[in-house]
Amino acid sequence: MLERYQAQGLVLVAFPCNQFYLQEPAENHELINGLTYVRPGNGWQPHQELHVYGKIDVNGDNHHPLYEFVKEACPQTVDKIGKTEELMYNPVRTSDITWNFEKFLIDRKGQPRFRFHPTAWSHGEVVTPFIEQLLAEPAN
Rounded CA gap, 31 and 88, in Å?
20
Residue-level pLDDT at 34: 93
Residue-level pLDDT at 124: 83
Rounded CA gap, 82 and 123, in Å?
23
Residue-level pLDDT at 120: 87
Sign, Cα dihedral of 117, 122, 126, 129? positive
Note whether 46 and 52 are within 8 A (CB): yes
DSSP state of 74: S
Rounded CA gap, 32 and 41, in Å?
10
pLDDT, one tens digit for every residue, the chain (140 residues)? 899 999 999 999 999 999 999 999 999 999 999 999 998 999 999 999 999 999 999 999 999 999 999 999 999 999 888 889 999 999 999 999 999 999 999 999 999 999 999 988 777 899 999 999 999 999 87
Q: Quote helix, strand, coil % in the chain, to nearest 5.
A: 30, 10, 55
Residue-level pLDDT at 26: 95
Whole-prediction pTM: 0.91
- 13: domain CATH number is 3.40.30.10
Residue-level pLDDT at 89: 96
Number of domains, the chain: 1
Residue-level pLDDT at 121: 77
Residue-level pLDDT at 58: 98
Residue-level pLDDT at 140: 76
Query: Which domain covers residue 59, as residue numbers?
Result: 2-136
